[in-house]
Amino acid sequence: MLKTPSLVAVRPARAEDVGSMARIIDDYARRRAMLARRENDLLRSLDDFVVACRETEAGRVIGCGALTLYSTRIAEIRSVAVDPAHSRSGAGRKIVQALVDRAKSIEARRVYLLTLVPEFFAKMGFEIVDSDNTSLSYLSEAVLDQSRTFANKALMMRDL
Ligand SMILES: CC(C)(COP(=O)(O)OP(=O)(O)OC[C@H]1O[C@@H](n2cnc3c(N)ncnc32)[C@H](O)[C@@H]1OP(=O)(O)O)[C@@H](O)C(=O)NCCC(=O)NCCS
């Protein structure tokens, strides 16, 4: 199988992508590597998502990721996932770069994320921060609202 990053393109997600996105995310969720997202939840937040596609396979979706805005200046990256058959192909990096570019284009100043793979995001310029920091209350509220948890996850941020 070819694993050439240049054959991977990232674009905004479309409704027809939701099935593929849900399959990739659920595969990891079953192994407790990330949170599950229902298809109707993905559809509702479709505008937040980008997908990575294989240009040589009729644009088959092999990964996805989302950027959610919490204030005029603060955003969170969520649900970054790459089909394991295409891991280490550069797709994850391209997805994160596209989300960071999107954050910059809407003039966000800082991007946070919660992750079980801090080593990957460290390579994307993110640093681990203390989740007890009170200035993060908006993020804590969002996380609790969505029944998510900080447990076992690293909180990371990148200033733009
Ligand atoms: C983490 C994940 C998105 C990486 O995607 P990927 O397409 O394999 O990553 P890339 O090929 O773009 O890798 C970019 C760099 O990160 C490194 N990297 C990738 N996964 C890594 C990991 N799990 N641990 C450490 N480094 C990792 C790569 O070696 C590469 O380094 P290099 O630039 O020095 O060569 C993918 O493995 C995944 O979907 N994991 C499960 C879901 C998850 O944990 N998502 C993130 C939390 S929301």
Reported as a single tens digit per residue, the pLDDT across 53-62 is 998 877 899 9
Domains along the chain with CATH numbers: 8-159 (3.40.630.30)
- Using alpha carbons, list the distances in angstroms from residue 12 to 1, 120, 159: 25, 22, 23
Q: Using CA positions, which residue lies closest to atom 40 of ligand 1?
A: 81
**Most confident among 51-60, 71-80, 98-107 (mean pLDDT):** 98-107
Question: Helices H, strands E: what count in the chain?
Answer: 5, 7
Q: How far is the CA of 41 from the centre of ligand 1 (A)?
A: 24
Spatial distance between the Cα atoms of 35 and 48, rounded to a whole number of angstroms:
16
pLDDT at 139: 72
Reported as a single tens digit per residue, the pLDDT across 104-117 is 999 999 999 999 99
Q: Using CA positions, which residue lies closest to atom 26 of ligand 1?
A: 120
Specify the residue for token string 């409704």.
15
Does any ligand 1 atom lie closer than 6 A to the CB of residue 80?
A: yes
pTM for the complete prediction?
0.92
Rounded to 10 degrees, the C-alpha dihedral 28/31/34/38 comes to: 70
